[in-house]
Chain A
Amino acid sequence: QKEVEQDPGPLSVPEGAIVSLNCTYSNSAFQYFMWYRQYSRKGPELLMYTYSSGNKEDGRFTAQVDKSSKYISLFIRDSQPSDSATYLCAMSDPFNKFYFGSGTKLNVKP
């Protein structure tokens, strides 16, 4: 079983839609939960990170963590064509090792 599972998509939505991206994990030792955005032929860029269970909001983006269910989500409100990218969830353990999901490719159609 992989440490982090993520639905690879692809996901295609119309502009303005609410997007929900999800990951599950198996390691209870994970401390930080991250979402990266990766445009084609570029390196991943950190979008958001969270530490505890609950919600964290940043503009149109909301990250949600449920440690009891080992489930994290990223919601994108009012999605824009510029949001079209691959979104990677990631988690870190107490030893600063990072574990990534396989990525979900999102396409927002104008």
Chain B
Amino acid sequence: NAGVTQTPKFRVLKTGQSMTLLCAQDMNHEYMYWYRQDPGMGLRLIHYSVGEGTTAKGEVPDGYNVSRLKKQNFLLGLESAAPSQTSVYFCASTEPGTSAYNEQFFGPGTRLTVL
């Protein structure tokens, strides 16, 4: 039971390059999230998904695209990387619920540097 895993752990890109970050969870969770964490900013929601085939914008979606083709995977894409996208990216997953609390589980993060 690996929980939430992220690939890759580190990456350095040049401005204008593209890449895809992969998040995988083995807990059969419906909801998945992508956050970015910058110094002094906490975690900010980029995009999220409430189920296979669905995606929605979060607080800071510009410059990113996502796809949830399989329930266990949530991909985050950068089409044309910019230095402002240098950050640590965290994926998380949880089960939906309004009558009971469901913990949000986080992956270990991907450190991305855009030169």
Contact = CB atoms under 8 A, between A and B. Distances in A.
Q: Chain A at the B interface: mostly helix, strand, loop or mixed? A: loop
B106 interface: yes
B41 interface: yes
B108 interface: yes
A104 B22 CA distance: 29
Interface string B97-115: 1100111101111000000
B96 interface: yes
Interface residues of B, number: 27
B74 interface: no
A110 interface: no
B28 to A, nearest CB: 16
Interface in A28-69: 31-32, 41-46, 49, 51
B79 to A, nearest CB: 25
B42 A46 contact: no
B42 A100 contact: yes
B40 A98 contact: no
A8 B40 contact: yes
B45 to A, nearest CB: 7
A88 B109 contact: no
B98 A94 contact: yes
Interface string B9-37: 00000000000000000000001010100
Interface in B50-72: 50, 58
A110 to B, nearest CB: 26
List 3 tightest A-B contacts by C-beta distance, closest first.
A43-B106, A102-B42, A100-B43
Interface of B: 4, 31, 33, 35, 40-45, 48, 50, 58, 90, 92, 94, 96-98, 101-104, 106-109
